[in-house]
């Protein structure tokens, strides 16, 4: 009986060691390790992608696709480059498309474009993490809006209780808000 127990323990130890070895292979080459489902990109990765897109774009528009709007930093150097060249930065995320036209930049500073979007059939809410003056104008297209075309036709944009006027509708039928300050914006 002792011999059978030793074999069982040896087999268990061997399988644990094999699993540990395969994990250490992923740790060495972490770039190829699969990201957990639903994980957000790190702030530094997003910042580098944005910087590289602006720096390396031969066009007037630099486009970056991101997995989430939870961490969207834009360094002051990137803002300065956009202001200097007049390029437009377009960030495509699952629920929104954010557009920053370099010609609208009035103040060069680090920007936090992180935001949360919630949608119902009666309204869409965009809440920016940044507060106060952004130093530029942002156009935010809510690509995940659940509002009907009929409701969007008469929809207004609000910042708190203050109406900012009619919502703009882009060529794809998405509501678009243009803001120069952080805050909570409601389309209803």
Residue pLDDT tens, the chain, 188 long: 455 544 444 544 544 444 444 333 333 333 333 333 344 455 556 778 888 888 888 889 999 999 999 989 999 999 999 999 999 999 999 999 999 999 999 999 999 999 999 999 999 999 999 999 999 999 999 999 999 999 999 999 999 899 999 999 999 999 999 999 999 999 99
pLDDT the model gives residue 59? 86
Tokens 């935010």 belong to 140
pLDDT the model gives residue 44? 58
How far is it, in rounded angstroms, from Cα 48 to Cα 51? Answer: 5
SS3 content of the chain, % helix, strand, coil (to 5): 35, 35, 30
Q: CA 36: distance to chain centroid?
A: 17
pLDDT the model gives residue 24? 35
Q: Could you tell me which of 132, 94, 142 has the C-alpha nearest to residue 112?
A: 132
Residues 120, 155: contact at Cβ < 8 Å?
A: no
pLDDT the model gives residue 43? 57
Start-to-end CA distance of the chain, whole Å, equals 74
Other beta carbons less than 10 A from residue 88's beta carbon? 20
């Amino acid at each position: 009986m002792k011999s059978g127990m030793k074999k069982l323990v040896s087999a268990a130890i061997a399988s644990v060691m094999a699993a540990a070895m395969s994990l250490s292979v992923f740790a060495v080459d972490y770039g190829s390790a699969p990201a957990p489902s639903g994980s957000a990109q790190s702030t530094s990765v997003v910042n580098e992608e944005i910087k590289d897109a602006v720096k390396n774009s031969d066009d007037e528009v630099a486009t970056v696709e991101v997995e989430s709007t939870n961490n969207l930093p834009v360094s002051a150097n990137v803002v300065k480059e956009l202001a200097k060249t007049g390029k437009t930065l377009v960030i495509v995320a699952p629920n929104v498309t954010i557009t920053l036209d370099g010609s609208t930049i009035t103040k060069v500073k680090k920007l936090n474009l992180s935001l949360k979007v919630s949608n119902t059939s009666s309204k869409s809410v965009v809440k920016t993490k940044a507060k106060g003056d952004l130093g530029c104008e942002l156009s935010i297209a809510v690509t995940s809006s659940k509002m009907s075309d009929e409701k969007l036709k008469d929809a207004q944009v609000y910042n708190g209780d203050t109406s900012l006027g009619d919502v703009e509708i882009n060529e794809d039928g998405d509501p678009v808000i243009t803001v120069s300050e952080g805050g909570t914006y409601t389309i209803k």
